[in-house]
Structure formats: C-alpha cells, structure tokens
A and B are shown apart, each in its own frame.
Chain A
C-alpha cells in the first residue's frame, strides 16, 4: 500500500475523489442559484427539488419510456428547465414586485410540495439507477482505483460549468445578462426584452439543477430528500463564496467539495459539518463572502 509521511495515499485520494464529485454537484447547483440571483434577485429554494426532479425524471425515462442515460442527459435538463419556466411565469412573476422574501417562501412551498409528491408516489427509500454501459468499470492508477463514471462526473461538470462561465463572461448574450444584472430598467430602455431574458435565465438556472440530477442518479440513490439535504449545504457555499461572481460560485463549490473530502479522511466526525464551520469563519473574517462585493 502506498504511504507518504504516514498517510495512506490510497484512502486519501479516494476521499479526495469523493470530495471532487460532491464539489461538482455543489458547483452546478450554486452556479444555477447565482445566475438566477443575479438577474431576479431571488433565491430559488426549489433548486434542490429541481435537482431531485432531474434524477427522478432520468429514472422514470429509463424505466417507463426506455430512454437511455445519454438521451436523458440532454432531454431531462430541457424538461426541468421548461418546468422552471412555467414556475417563473405562473407563480414567481406575479409577486416579482413584492419583497424578495416572499419569493423565497414561495419557492420553499414549491419544494415542499414536490418533495411531498415524490415521497407519496415512490416512498422515501431511494431507487437505484444503473451506470451506463460505456462508463462502467474503472482505471487502475498507481495510487488509486478510478471508477470511470466518477471521473466522467467531474469532467462533465467542469465542462458544463466552464461553458456557462464562458457564455456569460465572453459572449454578447452574456453581456446582455450582465448588463441586466446591473440595471434591468436601462436594458429594457435599450430595447432588450428583459422579461423574456428573466424567464430564460430562470429556466437555464433550473435546467442546470436538472442536469446535476441526471448526473447524480447513478451514484447516489434516487430519493425524494436528496435535494433538500444538498441544497442547505449549497446555501452555506453560496454564503461562503458570495453570489457576485459566476466563476466564484464554481470555484467555491469545487473547493468546498475538496475540503469536505479532506475532512472525511483526516477527521471523519466533522465531515458533515465542516462546510458550515467554514461559513462561520468566513462570516467572521469577510462577511461579504470570498468573491462578494462589500455590501
């Protein structure tokens, strides 16, 4: 067994990989939250439920319709995004002018309903989703065994996050989005259809959660409460990073996953709480968050 300075490298790299996988999901979800927050100034409490919806949609697509993983990876985010668009138009839009705390409560209610419905239909015990054939097995590296699907999660998430970052920071469409974040009224005056942009942004942000859900289905068990547990951690990550920067949301998500993985190796008792403790430290030292603007 490979050891270095008394550290079991096999175990350490294993936990680092688990951390990186969790971090991929944190990054995808906090990225979606940050995009939505940027333009709508609301926090989507249903983001976790949409992630759960994505996982269940993949499971149902496979078991009821025979739609395989690869097709689901494209179709499910679109479907979840469409659900998000409906939600924005029908429920969030009417109260857009009220205090933003109301939209938080509204999306919380939606999350409760979705979680309740899936618990009612499928029970709370979780279901398995097989890893697609092409990604089964793994590679034996000198210091660890790397399952292919897990490597795929990390690579695919980083690609999607990177593409989103590029789209927002480097393209014309992204420039509109950033301008809308700064001053939506002025954008409207320039002839940009801001309400449409808001709807599509919400759909995209929610679609990212749906994508994360499909990715998660083969590694975590597909269960109704998979989203709520994850979302609270993502909230802490959003507080740590601050929602001012797209790149910041991605980096904080991945970074916190790694921190969690390291904690699981060195002090497993604290692994479920370490991210919250980091949040406390950040609140004490830099209340606006690592990438946030001073409020």
Chain B
C-alpha cells in the first residue's frame, strides 16, 4: 500500500514537473513569438518611416528653410572659389511629442546659397 502511494506521489511529481517544463516552454515560445512580431513590426515601422522620411527629403524645396544655419561649404567635386559663398546646413529630425509618433530617422542636408555669389563680381 505504501509502495503504491509512493509511486503515485512520484508520478504526480513527474506530471507536475513535465507540466511545468511544458508550460515554461510554451511561455518562452510565446514570448519569443511576441518579441519576434514586435521586432518585425519595429523593423517595418523603421522602413515605413524611412520611406516617409526620404519622401519628405525629395519634397524639400530648393528655397531656404527655417532653422538652417550658415556654414562653410563642404568639399565637393564642382568646387567654387568665391570666399563669400556660404552654404546652409539643415537638420531634418522628428519634432513629434508622442513617442509612438516619433520618427526614428534624421538627415543632414545642405544647399549652396548663391545669393551673395550671383550679386558679387568674379
């Protein structure tokens, strides 16, 4: 009688242990699936945002933009020697306040400011 009870207890312990292992495995797989989905969504969001960001870059007009700072023109192939020529540097970054709407991409753009050069002499 005692032996049967012992076997029953051992079986119950084994069942509990196997159940716990199976539950943890299920939990881990579910968690990893969720992490995977979240990562996939994040990557998809990054790509969507990047496409949106690049689209905004393409729509950036040639006109001066507010917030641009005047800098020395960076080295370039089609170089200009006029010392009065200045370039403008603009940091296009997200200004959204909500974290979910925050755009993860930023871009530095520059343009040549020809106003002073065209007015000056050669």
Bound pair: A and B?
no
B residues adjacent to A (C-beta < 8 A) = none
